[in-house]
Amino acid sequence: MALYSLKKIDIASVFKTVCAMMLIIGIVIYIIAVFILGIIALITSEWITMITTTLIGLMGLVLYAVFYPAMCSLLAWIYNLVTTKTKISGIKVDLELEAAKDEVIR
């Protein structure tokens, strides 16, 4: 097993990956919330409240899918700054090649 140190994080890849993840999670939460709101609206007959809440939830989904990745990208930039400008060596990761592991088992 080899010990590696993570020196730099690609900020664009962090933004794209986290954006995709948060968009998927946000859509799932949004669909569940709209489903529950739809059932409540059927029971109470308050359609204006459901429409308003659905639109606010849609705006929240967009904000969630943009601001969370932006914050993660900012953290990646700060990480790169800290690891390059200081004596801190970065996060140490112990990696093992799967093919080598399979050959040892055989």
Q: Is the dihedral of CA 39, 30, 58, 64 positive or negative?
A: positive
Task: Measure the CA–CA gap between 40 and 52, rounded to whole angstroms.
Answer: 14
The one-letter code for the residue type at 6 is L
Domain that holds residue 15: 10-87
Residue 58: what pLDDT? 86
Q: pTM value?
A: 0.67
Q: How many domains does the chain have?
A: 1
| Residue 43 placed within a domain | yes
| Residue 1 placed within a domain | no
pLDDT tens-digit readout, 18-68: 888 988 988 898 888 888 887 888 788 877 877 887 888 888 888 888 888
| Residue 100 placed within a domain | no
Which residues touch 95 (CB under 8 Å, ≥6 apart)? 1, 2, 4
Q: By the 8 A CB rule, do 72 and 15 touch? A: yes
